[in-house]
Amino acid sequence: MAKPALRFRPQTKAWSPIAVVLTMTVGMMALVGLFHFIIRVATA
């Protein structure tokens, strides 16, 4: 038998879906910024 659906919880957090999308978009931009920063430090 396969494993049961692991840890399933519907998304019922107080945050709105839009907030998730916004945060994640900004978050990803920050990650890419971090990437450029690392490169900058490494190649300095």
Distance from C-alpha of 17 to C-alpha of 33, rounded to nearest angstrom: 24
Alpha carbons 27 and 20: distance in angstroms, whole number:
10
User: Who's near 11: CB < 8 A, 6+ residues apart?
Assistant: 17
Q: In angstroms, what is the minimal distance from the CB of 8 to other proteins?
A: 5
* Binding residue count for other proteins, defined by CB under 8 A: 36
Residues 5-24 that bind other proteins (CB under 8 A): 5-11, 13-15, 17-24
**Least distance (Å) between residue 28 CB and other proteins:** 5
Residue 20, Cβ neighbours under 10 Å: how many?
A: 13
Residues that bind other proteins (CB under 8 A): 1-11, 13-15, 17-25, 27-29, 31-36, 38-39, 42-43
